[in-house]
Chains A and B, each alone.
Chain A
Amino acid sequence: MAKPARPRASAASAKPAATDAPVSPAIIETAALAGEDASVFALRSLQQAHANNKRYDASDAELLHFYEQMVLIRRFEERAGQLYGLGLIGGFCHLYIGQEAVAVGVQSALRAGHDSVITGYRDHGHMLAYGIDPRVIMAELTGRAAGISRGKGGSMHMFSTEHKFFGGHGIVGAQVPLGAGLAFGHKYRDDGGVCVAYFGDGAANQGQVYETFNMAALWKLPIVFVVENNGYAMGTAVKRGSAETHFYRRGTGFRIPGMDVNGMDVLEVRQATEVALEFVRGGNGPVLMELNTYRYRGHSMSDPAKYRSREEVQDMRDKHDPIEAAKQDLLRRGVTEAQLKDIDKRIRQAVAEAADFAENSPEPAPGELYTDVLVGSY
């Protein structure tokens, strides 16, 4: 039987205990040798800070906003799946359904237009969390001139330099050094900005990720590495592809503190991100956050889903859905079902408009084939 990919979100409380476990004599010896250095070595301190205060104390308005953003991503992605089935979206299309709390929670802690973000090819959710118009995202999916990349990028290659969202990269792991380059720019200009570089549990096994960890820590770059651990690298369960499945520990060899976070709870994601950002903005170098999440849909649209059981997916949906959790939280706070229905309705309307727009806007002019290859004329 396949082990449920992400029991750790549900059993998150059990995990900090592991980090508090008695320290082995070897570690004590190393610490003693390192002397003063060890006292400032904050590998475990952020995890502790996170364990002490897990959830962000959101106002009702904030939580409503998070809820709305997550619902937007869910409905948008469902519609994208439909359009793919109709042949209106081609190629690869990686849906973010199930992982909404990650993008929304992290994004909400960033300084808009100041901090930069970069991710891999599962990028629609991140774009939407940034408040980018769903119509231009959907139009990019359908390959139209009005798309955010003028129809030349597609699902995997979307960018908004205006929002400091730097894509949208199709080579697994490539966004990690690119993100460190963005962080390098923040430090070079001394503008106080931070880069968040997202990558998956699959990308976490790429060599360039560790080359980047080394330089980011060496140069104290202002970057938060976010592993979106959705349990599967395409169809390979984490346990089948990774010797160390606790990804937040993977920075230890580079003295990068790690944080183990329930990525199915938007308020926990937000709170953990604040801890990470405070550390990074303090000039202390990078943080590695592991956000344990789950993707309900296939890796891409052509996923046969033979590597996990229907029951496993259903269990995650039933018990750990980030949108349902936020909804229950809101209802407990006295928000009415009617208010939430209004939001749902508004979003369905916006997504329908985006789909209409994407379906009906024209394809790029043939001459666009030759534009944007080079900036200069030589």
Chain B
Amino acid sequence: MAIELKMPALSPTMEEGTLAKWLVKPGDTVKSGDILAEIETDKATMEFEAVDEGVIGDLLIAAGTEGVKVGTIIATLQGDDEAPATPAAPVAPPVVAAPVAAPRPSAPEPVAISADTINTTVREALRDAMAEEMRADDRVFVMGEEVAEYQGAYKVTQGLLEEFGPRRVIDTPITEYGFAGIGAGAAMGGLRPIVEFMTFNFAMQAIDHIINSAAKTNYMSGGQMRCPIVFRGPNGAASRVGAQHSQNYAPWYAAVPGLVVIAPYDAADAKGLLKAAIRSDDPVVFLENELVYGRSFPVPQGEDAVVPIGKARIVRPGRDVTIVAYSISVGLALEAADVLAGEGIEAEVIDLRTLRPLDTATVLESLSRTNRLVIAEEGYPVCGIASEIIAVVMEHGFDDLDAPVLRVCDEDVPLPYAANLEKAALIDAARIAAAVRKVCYR
């Protein structure tokens, strides 16, 4: 019985990849540890090793094929105790999916390409923002774990070392408290550091410098000593990485005066807001999301495509209900809005984009038209951004409400590992849609 070799997942969030190159051909004898193929994801190129011994049977996916789903059978292997594949037989050219042109699964959002925009992943948009600002201002530099030679743990800083060199793209030891402090000190001394945390879960080690050193110094010094620094990295739940690597810290940082807190969703905002963050004279916590890094969106071109801090955006207009969201939950809210539209409910979706200062005016204005509000937040339900929005609405929008405000968040538990439990714990479009039906009394 031939062993089936399947497209491997090379990271917790990988769903598909490119079979870049075969390093074996049918009839080759391989043993455990031999490299069979090179597989590319949007983050990295990895080698795919044999686990079993045997003789390569058929190569089922041609080299160069993009969009190969994890789990697809890509080759077969004859075990030692079986008759080898006839080596003399001419090797059939690899078949199946047409290379290169293989359609990529579309992003969850409609992608409109106009003349002055270009389709870009969030990951590339973030990198482009840093590169453009580094070209424009020598004071800007990037430091963090694996940002330079490794090209970024999530490949966000890919290519920066080559362009800007080790003076400005600096690998740190694994020492978050220390390098967050060094970054804050460099900012106080007049530089413009971008400090990357591999994920914001690790920034808890450094939170003293983010809050006590970066956020409070300007006030404590009577405006004399500024700290223009950007702390950035992925935040929130990724995929099956367990409780310690899956937390949304937006409510923590958004609670602190002296900080600017940004959590973009799409690539245009990721780029435009990161540029604004780097140019800001204030300390900025810039919360990204690993699950969104690989999604593509149209991004306006040009060095001046800066998105203003502190302005929410209506990403989908609607008259019946307002769904307020930020970061990954914007995508879920749009998904829910699509479903609801089929039921005759037109939902307006607001992307907060900046969490501190919060653009309450946009939320309240929308509420005054729709009279119903649901908040979608990928994070704990207690004391979250959703709680804050509800408080704002109670104080300033009470008379506009036709129904109680509902929040849709993750379950109030540390994120579990088991696939079914994780799914049960996390916010999804169906739960948002259900909450909307409830506030619409449907």
Q: Which A residues have a C-beta under 8 Å from some C-beta of B? A: 116, 118, 147-153, 157, 159-161, 166-171, 174, 176-186, 188, 207-208, 211-212, 214-215, 218, 371-376, 378
Contacts and interface: CB of A to CB of B under 8 A. Distances in A.
B220 A174 contact: no
B175 A188 contact: no
A216 to B, nearest CB: 8
Given A215-B173, A376-B309, A152 B181 contact: no
A378 B308 contact: yes
Contacts of A151: 222
B181 A372 contact: no
B185 A152 contact: no
A137 to B, nearest CB: 13
B224 A159 contact: yes
Interface stretch (B209-217, B232-240, B292-300, B322-330): B209-217
Contacts of A147: 222
Given A180-B178, A188-B167, 4 more contacts: A161-B224, A174-B209, A179-B185, A214-B173
B183 to A, nearest CB: 6
B188 A178 contact: yes
B231 interface: no
27 contacts: A118-B185, A149-B220, A149-B222, A151-B222, A153-B220, A157-B221, A159-B224, A161-B224, A166-B189, A171-B208, A174-B209, A177-B184, A178-B209, A180-B178, A181-B181, A181-B186, A181-B188, A208-B181, A211-B177, A212-B181, A212-B182, A214-B178, A215-B172, A373-B257, A374-B258, A378-B310, A378-B354
Given A178-B185, A180-B181, A375 B282 contact: yes
Interface string B225-251: 110100000000000000000000000
B386 to A, nearest CB: 22
B360 interface: no
B191 A177 contact: no
A182 B222 contact: no
B75 interface: no
A160 to B, nearest CB: 8
Given A374-B260, A375-B282, A376-B280, A149 B182 contact: no
3 tightest A-B CB contacts, nearest first: A181-B185, A177-B181, A211-B178
B178 A374 contact: no
Contact of A215 (B178, B184, B217, B218): B178
B220 A375 contact: no
Given A152-B220, A188-B191, A375 B226 contact: yes
A182 B188 contact: yes
B223 interface: yes
Contacts of B193: 181
A178 B181 contact: yes
Contact of A182 (B189, B209, B224): B189
Given A178-B181, A188-B167, A188-B186, A218 B218 contact: no
A170 B191 CA distance: 23
A310 B122 CA distance: 66
A215 B282 contact: no
A151 B181 CA distance: 25
B357 interface: yes
Contacts of B281: 375-376
Interface in B138-184: 141, 167, 172-173, 175, 177-184
Given A157-B220, A169-B213, A176-B181, A185 B310 contact: no
B187 interface: yes
B414 interface: no
B139 to A, nearest CB: 8
Give the one of A151, A159, A177 with max B CB within 10 A.
A177
A207 B209 CA distance: 13
B226 A116 contact: no
A177 B189 contact: no
